[in-house]
Structure 1
Amino acid sequence: MKLRKVSAAAAAALVLSLTATACGGDDGDNDSGSGSGTGGGETIKIGIKYDQPGLGLKEPGGKFSGFDVDVATYVAKELGYEPDQIEFVETKSADRENALARGDVKFIAATYSITDERKQKVDFAGPYLLAHQDLLIKTDSDITKGTDLNGKKLCSVTGSTSAQNVQKEIAPKAQLQEYSSYSECIANLQSGAVDAVTTDDSILAGFAAQEQYKGQFKLAGLKLSNENYGIGVKKGDTATVDKINAALEKMVADKAWDKAVADNFGPANYQNEAAPKIGVIVS
């Protein structure tokens, strides 16, 4: 009699153990977002920038903000993930393709311009924003066209081709000033050490929209290039691309896209292009 009771208890324990294993044994396998997001506790990892105000910024308190963050959060919601199920992962430009190939993140929304070269390595959803290379200048600046930069000090980050393109194609007498970050360029623009800063207008607008700079800067509106921002997905994952494209179309239709633009770029008087059509690349 006693032996039968012990056997029954052992059997019950075995059943409970097997049940727990079946239900929760692979919690760690879905971190990049392979699950539906509705199973309780599952997370999705999304690559963003941590250092671009207005686009992708990790604030001192740990909160994330910016247009790319808003787009990524909306898309994740449509994929079945609540905000508290999102893990934002810093994804620097040089490591974006590798992060997707390794499965470190499910997708990347990080000022990721769609190019033919990149499409050999990753798939893209979108585009979700059409940006342009532009100039950021002081609100009282007398720079109204590209040639006005001749004799002026033009700032960009070290290794960027943006300022070099301006000097080569528009203002050969522009004096290039290079710093390690756009934050340094903006600080030098504020102090008067440089006359203009150049990179994508969305990035410039994000910096100008910061509280400490509101009202001090404006975009020149020169549209020196076209940058089609897309959401990067692991090569071959067409199912995720299709789901993200559907989410982006919904975001535009319900005006959440317009709100995200106004919230993140509005203070810089950013004259954004209309939301681009999915799959349409402006060259």
Structure 2
Amino acid sequence: MRLRSALAATTAGIAIAAGLAACGDAGSDDEGRDVDAKSDCDGKFAEGSRMAELADAGTINVGHKTDQPGVGFQGATDDVPKGFDIEIAKLLIADLCIDPASDKVNWEETISDNREPYLESGKVDVVLASYSITDDRQKVVGQAGPYMVTGQQLLVKSDSKIAGVDDVKGKEVCSVTGSTSLETIKAKGAKGVGADSYSECAEKVLDGTYEAMTTDGTILAGLAAQNEGELKVVGDQFSTENIGVGYGKDHPEMCEWIDGVLEDAFADGSWAEAFKLTLGPSGVQTPEPPTLQPCK
């Protein structure tokens, strides 16, 4: 496995944070990059491996978010989701010799609270849904990567005097139920309030129900760009979030395969191209690829 230095991961987080205050569009209006399916799956994967099973079946179920502009988003008129999570998913799908643009891919909406249950039950084969890698999650599911390093920040009204996490102590701050962000903001002294989606939190900030919402800075940048002039991202990052790919814990062989696809994408520029296409319009600078964590 080709590992990069810890400095690369740190630089990635800094670069993401640096661009969050910039204005721009919430993401591309198209369906992203065209990724051609590979044609080398005959004997490519070990017999009996989950990758071989998926390649032989020619179908895959992918869990994703729908309310995170630039990361994982699907509007009412969109046939398929789009965003950085989706672009990474396409690389994995294509490596299984499945056409990412075909109806052989079932894009299954997930929310923060059902990602583990969907993997455990087999409803989805992989989850790419702003899915932070944590020790607790790895007790019940497998996680590989990360393919992005970001950090938690705050989203507030444009005229808010809140400048950072110290200013929300004792205040109600919205985040999504089941997310690491909700637990982190509580630990920082705020009154974390759970919601079903990030878009719901943003609406509650806009209508004054809550003074702030919190999650990964990349997600907040997309929401701020979607509501340009009304919302802004504030403060330094107060957590480090390693965003990875979830898979069933009973298929540990998937970790090395996922990491191999990511390493290739880091090396050939397709990772950077996907990042620039999806998160660049929100003002996020393209960082160096992150360091992959060892498979457990």
State the TM-score, normalized to the length of structure 2: 0.68
Which amino acid is 2:81 matched to? F
Change over 3 Å in CA distance of 1:167–1:51 after alignment to 2: closer
Match of 2:234 among 209, 220, 227: 220
State which drifts further: 259-268 or 223-232.
Answer: 259-268
Give the Cα separation in 2 of the matches to 1:108 and 1:159. Answer: 15
Match of 1:54 among 70, 83, 91: 70
1:236-255 alpha-carbon deviations (Å, 9 max, x no partner): 42332222111111222222
Change over 3 Å in CA distance of 1:49–1:168 after alignment to 2: closer
Shift of 1:90: 2.2
Give the Cα separation in 1 of the matches to 2:198 and 2:119. Answer: 26
**Where do residues 108-187 of structure 1 align in structure 2 (5 Å cutoff)?**
108-139=127-158, 141-149=160-168, 154-157=173-176, 162=181, 165-166=184-185, 169=188, 179-187=195-203
Instruction: Identify the structure with bigger relative contact order (alpha carbons < 8 Å, sequence gap 6+).
Output: 2
Give the Cα separation in 2 of the matches to 1:166 and 1:102. Answer: 30
Change over 3 Å in CA distance of 1:214–1:70 after alignment to 2: farther
2:81 is equivalent to residue 67 of structure 1: no
SS of match in other structure, 1:235: coil
Which amino acid is 1:241 matched to? C
1:254-280 alpha-carbon deviations (Å, 9 max, x no partner): 222223223333344335753211116
Change over 3 Å in CA distance of 1:123–1:47 after alignment to 2: same
Change over 3 Å in CA distance of 1:198–1:190 after alignment to 2: same
8 A Cα contact 1:46 1:108, kept in partner:
yes
Give the Cα separation in 2 of the matches to 1:215 and 1:191. Answer: 14
Give the Cα separation in 1 of the matches to 2:83 and 2:266. Answer: 17
Which amino acid is 1:276 matched to? P
8 A Cα contact 2:145 2:259, kept in partner:
yes
Structure (1 or 2) with the greater helix fraction: 1
8 A Cα contact 2:111 2:197, kept in partner:
no
Share of identical aligned residues, percent?
Answer: 38
2:228 is equivalent to residue 205 of structure 1: no
CA RMSD of aligned residues (A): 3.3
Match of 1:270 among 284, 288, 293: 284
Q: Runs of 5+ in structure 2 lacking a partner?
A: 1-50
**Structure showing greater Rg:** 1
Which amino acid is 1:275 matched to? P
Aligned match of 1:26: none
Aligned match of 2:94: 77
Change over 3 Å in CA distance of 1:192–1:117 after alignment to 2: closer
